[in-house]
Amino acid sequence: MTFTSKSRGLFYKKVRLEKIIWSITWTVYGKLQEIARVPTSADPASDILYFYDATGNGLSKGTTYPVTDYMGYAWYVRDAQGNLLNVYSDNSNT
């Protein structure tokens, strides 16, 4: 797994696709919106959705696990300057 920096000190992970990703959807602002993928035994997630606020900071992430019929959620709490304070997560039956 390789981490590479982009402008403004942001980091992203380079991932080898290996025929597991069906599609990647981007917002009009160049932010990742959705990853539709083939669930595997190592990673059973099928869809990953990302949501952002008006300034482009990540607000939440939803992950669908169709085999177990669960949906995983993560919410990102930020201060007024956009600094990440905490991440809350929950897994609930869909």
Q: What residues make up the domain containing 31?
A: 21-93
Is 72 among the domain residues? Answer: yes
- For the chain, how many structural domains are there in total? 1
User: Is the model more confident about 52 or about 6?
Assistant: 52
Calculate the dihedral angle through the C-alpha atoms of 18, 22, 26, 32, rounding to the nearest 10 degrees: -50
Is 60 among the domain residues? Answer: yes
Is 75 among the domain residues? Answer: yes
Which helix (H) or strand (E) segment is 91 a member of?
Answer: strand 84-93
Rounded to whole angstroms, the Cα distance separating 33 from 61 reads 9
Is 14 among the domain residues? Answer: no
- Window from 9-13, 18-22, 27-31, 41-45 with minimum mean pLDDT: 9-13
Is 1 among the domain residues? Answer: no
pLDDT bucket at 41, cuts 50 / 70 / 90: confident
What is the pLDDT at residue 45? 82
Predicted confidence (pLDDT) at residue 40 exceeds the cutoff of 90: no
What is the pLDDT at residue 74? 92
Is 11 among the domain residues? Answer: no
What is the pLDDT at residue 93? 58
